Every structure is written in structure tokens, then in C-alpha cells.
Amino acid sequence: MLTAITRQVSPAIARCELTHLERVPIDASLAAAQHREYERCLGDLGCVVVSLPAEPGLPDSVFVEDTAVVVDELAVMTRPGAVSRRPEAASVARVLVPYRPVATITAPGTLDGGDVLRLGRRVLVGSSSRSNPEGVAQLRALLAPHGYTVEAVPVAGCLHLKSAVTEVALGTVLLNPAWVDPAAFAGLTRVEVEPAEPYAANALLIGRTVIFPTAFPRTAARLERAGVRLRLLDVSELAKAEGAVTCCSLIVAG
């Protein structure tokens, strides 16, 4: 059984943190409607959705993925690189307690969950503006006793590692080679995004289906040719806040 922890869209989402995108108006009502459809999709794919209430004072709080890294044995609460986002973690930690023992990244470490890509027992962490070497080292120390390897991967031109690469099937990743070196994924099947769709590498694998934005039809076609089954969603307003489909949930197995 999969549990998907989500949080409703903050009415203050227009004041979100931005690093690589220009600020444009965000329709909070439309973002909320898109997020409800996202939650319905998770439910359709077999997840039990645990939806937290909106946080009016925390503009980025819909992006719950950044607050924790959840593996089978442990939940690691992160220390987000953006100071404004650090208050988001406490309420998520309370929800995770029934599912996993909880550990925490501490200062001076910083870590965003969007920088963490788990491929079996291999955990890759983006060396980004949001996750620093101390955060990576702490995550390594916490996960090593459970048999995980943790390695840093350079990223450039995007916010998080999972802006540049995600898993779309067992042994298959979708990536933007301009933002992450494909050599880090040697031995895996690699599907590259359409060059005209640089933001298309973020996809959410649930079971054998991938939740994928409608904004990237050419990359979607590449995935379908590779045999990947897609569930397409419009997340255009959330994307204006530098969010994507992995960002809006924490998936907890078992």
C-alpha cells in the first residue's frame, strides 16, 4: 500500500521562492483546483491520500517533497536551503511519525527533498543551491546503516536534481542532459527530454504509471515510445512556482 502525503495550496503561493524562473502572476484558485486533480489522480493510482490543510503563512508549503526523505526504514526531515521554508517541516514530521522512525538534518547542513533521487539502494543527491555537502554527508550517515549508498551529483541550470532527472520505470530514467551528466546513470535506460522542453524531466512514478505534465507533449511521446504508461495532468499554475509533479507529495510505502 502507498500513502501519499500532500498539503493544500497556500493562498500566498504567489509569494513563493523563485530561483530560475521569472515571477509571473499565479492564480491561487486555479492552482488549488489543479492540486485537487493531482490528489484525485494519486487516489486513482492506489494511494491513500493524507491531505494536510493549507498554510497561509508558508507560500511554498504545497511542495511537501522538500521537507523529508522517506525510505523503507526511516524518514529524514530535511533542513531546506531556503530559510523561509524551514517552518514547513514540523507539521509534516508529525504526520510521518506513525509510519517511520524520524531523523533530522541539522545545521549547518541543508537539504531539499527535491534534490534526492532514490534508485533502489542507491541515493543520488543534487549539489544545488538548496542542498550543501554537509547535508549530503548527514544523509549518508543516516542511511548507511540501512544499506543505502549516498552520492552527490552536480546539477546546473535548474532548482533541484529531480528537475533534471527522475525514474519513470524500473531501470529507466528521464533526464535533461543539459542539467545533469547522463554518465551518472550509466547502466540504466535513459530517455532524454525533447530539447525544446527543458523542464520536462520531472515525472512521478506510482506503481507502473507515471504522472506527467500536459505541458510537454513531445517528451510525453518519447516516453510512450519507450513503453512508459502516462497519466497526464495540467499543473501549469504550480509550475509557475517552480513546482512539478514530484514536489507535491511524499510517497510512503507500506
Q: Are 228 and 172 in contact (CB under 8 A)?
A: yes
Which residues are identified as catalytic?
160, 247
The angle formed by the CA atoms of residues 179, 185 and 187, to the nearest 5 degrees, is 155
CB atoms within 10 A of CB 254: 8
Question: What is d(CA 92, CA 102) in angstroms, rounded to the nearest whole number?
Answer: 11
Question: What is the SS3 assignment for 123?
Answer: strand
Three-state SS for 5?
strand
State how far the alpha carbon of 111 is from the alpha carbons of 12, 156, 174, in Å.
23, 16, 22
C-alpha–C-alpha distance, residues 202 and 205, integer Å: 10
CA distance 238 to 8: 12
Q: Distance between CA atoms of 100 and 173, rounded to whole angstroms?
A: 27
